[in-house]
Chains A and B, each alone.
Chain A
Amino acid sequence: MMKKNRANSIMGMAFFGPALVLLTVFLFIPMILTVIYSFTDYFALSPATTHFVGLENFGKIFKDELFMQSFGNTVKFVLIIVPLQCLGALGLALLINKVTYCKKYFKVAFFVPVVMSLAVVSTLWMQIYSPEGILNTVLTNMGFDPQPFIHSTDQALPSIAIMSAWQGMGYQMIIFLGGLQAINPALYEAAEMDHASAWKKFKDITLPELKPLCVFVFITVTIGAFRMIVQPMVMTGGGPSNSTYTIVYDIYETGTVNWEIGLASAMAVVFVIFVVILTIIQNVLTKDKEDKHENKKK
């Protein structure tokens, strides 16, 4: 018996080993190093002069106007994109679920942007948003003034959020679609017997049945949105006047362009703590409701 266990564990390690090594090298060690570096003044060009500086980096971050601004921008971005992308995905899923012809075509069409590289999508939308681009031409023909979009401090972030929502929502749409198809048709049949309106059916059957999926989509979209960097990097370089500069962009610039690995690590630590706290809050809030729901059922 002992022997078999041992053989099993060796086999287990053999399968698990390569993954463990890779995870250790590329995930765990960098994570540990980031935390260690965040307490030092590690400078990429002069690693030999690294000192332990305690909490100095963290003090600097919270006094840094640009970091605070990028923090604000990121939160603003999340607030715009999360409802947009979640509701958009749900809407698309409901529509496609209803459509009886060309269903495959719509599914593919809405999913294609997800497969495309973000850099490519960003470049494409730069053309759409450009001062003499498609969107402005359409607007002018309809009698509206042309808009600066990504070249204005007010419109740049929402413009990027709309583009990102369009790019990403296909993925959540597929998830919702799976959920919709898993709902027992008998529920709808029963509702019809009771002459329930379409809205009632949606509110009392579809939504509750999709609830667990909604929570999942909500949390993944939120975390994804916090990590936003590619779009402003390609489209605006963080401008105009830093209005699209995000936390991850700031971390990247501080670490690789200004060579301040210590400071960048501290920013990363602050960012991770923030996202973790937020996720816990989200979890608690949504779980609570779920439990209540369960209780009601009972």
Chain B
Amino acid sequence: MKKVICLAAALAVAAAALTGCSRSVKPGEVAGFDEGEQYLSIWVHSIEDTPEGQSYRKSVEAFNEKFNGTYFADIEFIPRNDSGGGYSDKVNASVLSGGLPDVLTVDGPNIAAYAANGIIQPLAELSEEERGIYLDSILEQGTFNDKLYALGAMESSVGLYYNKAILREAGIEVPKAGQPWSFSEFLEILEKLKPTMDGKNGYPLDMTFPVGEASIYYFAPFIWSNGGELVSDDGLTVDGYFNSDTNVETMKYFRDLVDKKYMSSVPISNLFESGRAAFKFDGAWEVNTIYTSYPDIELGVAPYIVGDDWNGERYTPTGSWAFAASSGSKNIEGATELVKWMSGVESGLDLYRQTKSLPSTYEAYNYITDFTDDENYKALYEQLRDFGHPRPKTPAYPQLSSSFQQSLENIAISGMGAAEQLKKSTERINAKLERYTRT
């Protein structure tokens, strides 16, 4: 009997420790929350004591000032570790225990999964004017099943960087924005550069297919611009999309790059930065890296290359963390107001100043001299504005992302059969989609 009591007591203590508390906050309990105001809680995925965290704090304070007497937003910082845990663990635990805040941050590619599982709810209706301030890619990223769920303050972009000196020497002209090189044209250019780059103990192209999010982020545009898709519009079918013949062709293009030794099959660090590669695909941060750490490199941004039959549709990399209203929020009007504020022009501008992440609104770019005066930043912005395409929207995104990387690595580096690898990946993703498709 005693044993049972002991065990029960231990379980009770554990349960109390695990469930936490989700009580409602009353005016006066938190500094700044006054009688008559509606309380809005917000979670962000960063550490308070970082430039990014400080920027969020500042935006929330500005919101509280602007809406003094109506709303009060209370921000909580939940750090996210490198492998993606921490923040998402807390969100998952709160889904179970019911302690979700009114507003939370969600990584762009996860919006579909959060929406499909009812963790976030659609935002209140935005007027045309309100929607109009955001880049198309941000609205597209936040939309799932025709409903707008999330708006971000940050955007991102990947550039096809080139070494001006090397291309000048080889007599290669870089096309203007909107008229990118096609796959075949790019192959010819790489072939032309090969002897020069061999002489420099380098490669025409500094490119790798790393494990993690980078591979799909950088290289899915090859799929889209070549007329392929990775998943159906509703995000629930991959068979016939992921493993389409077009995608098999695109994958073979990657293998061509490796087979013809236009790129190294093993990652060599700082190839491009040390002047031993003519081209490199990398995030927008690379511009700052080159400017500050490798001033000898003459940097240019070429339009992202496209499939031979590209007809002008959107295809370039985009996406970042966004704000969404949780399904636990009973005040969707207030939550939407907070989401709009946190992703608005002011917040985006401040975030750019603190963290150099690209803003999400047209207006913000006008205030930042980098984007009006510097040709490289300007090119990245214009590419994002005119051609930005969010990553695939499917609730099985994590599996899609890792399958894409694995297929790419297996096909391009290890030389396995393209059709067979894509088919295998399709089966794996399908298995993860089962829970959404079974009726």
Contacts and interface: CB of A to CB of B under 8 A. Distances in A.
Interface of A: 20-21, 24-25, 29, 41, 43-47, 60, 65-66, 130-132, 148, 151-153, 233, 236-242, 253, 256-260
Given A25-B14, A237-B211, A257 B398 contact: yes
A21 B12 CA distance: 10
B175 to A, nearest CB: 32
26 contacts: A20-B6, A21-B13, A25-B13, A25-B18, A29-B14, A41-B435, A44-B92, A45-B95, A46-B95, A47-B95, A66-B428, A130-B269, A132-B268, A132-B269, A151-B266, A233-B83, A238-B211, A239-B406, A241-B406, A241-B410, A253-B402, A256-B84, A256-B88, A257-B398, A257-B402, A258-B399
Interface in B41-65: none
A29 B19 CA distance: 14
A152 B414 CA distance: 9
B406 A242 contact: yes
Contact of B414 (A25, A44, A240): A240
Given A45-B113, A131-B268, 7 more contacts: A20-B10, A21-B14, A43-B435, A45-B95, A240-B414, A241-B414, A256-B88
B211 A153 contact: no
Contact of A45 (B13, B117, B264, B265): B117
A44 B95 contact: yes
Contacts of A20: 6, 10
Question: Which residue among B83, B85, B264 has the maximum number of chain A CB atoms within 10 Å of its CB?
Answer: B83
Interface in B116-140: 117-119
Contacts of B402: 253, 257
A95 to B, nearest CB: 35
A239 B267 CA distance: 13
B305 to A, nearest CB: 25
A244 to B, nearest CB: 10
Contacts of B268: 130-132
Given A130-B269, A258-B398, A45 B119 contact: yes
Interface string B74-110: 0000000001110011001001100000000000000
A24 B14 contact: yes
A258 B432 contact: yes
A140 B85 CA distance: 41
A131 B267 contact: yes
Nearest to B201: A132
B413 interface: yes
A66 B118 CA distance: 30
Tell me which of A24, A41, A130 has the highest count of chain B C-beta atoms within 10 A of its own C-beta. A24
A256 B85 contact: yes
B114 interface: yes
B88 A131 contact: no
A24 B269 CA distance: 47
Contacts of A148: 265-266
Contacts of B413: 240-241
B84 A131 contact: no
Interface string B1-43: 0000010001101100110000000000000000000000000
Contacts of B398: 257-259
B414 A153 contact: yes
Given A29-B14, A131-B268, A256-B84, A46 B406 contact: no
A256 B89 contact: yes
Contacts of B6: 20
A66 B210 CA distance: 19
B69 interface: no
Nearest to A23: B10
B409 interface: yes
A236 B211 contact: yes
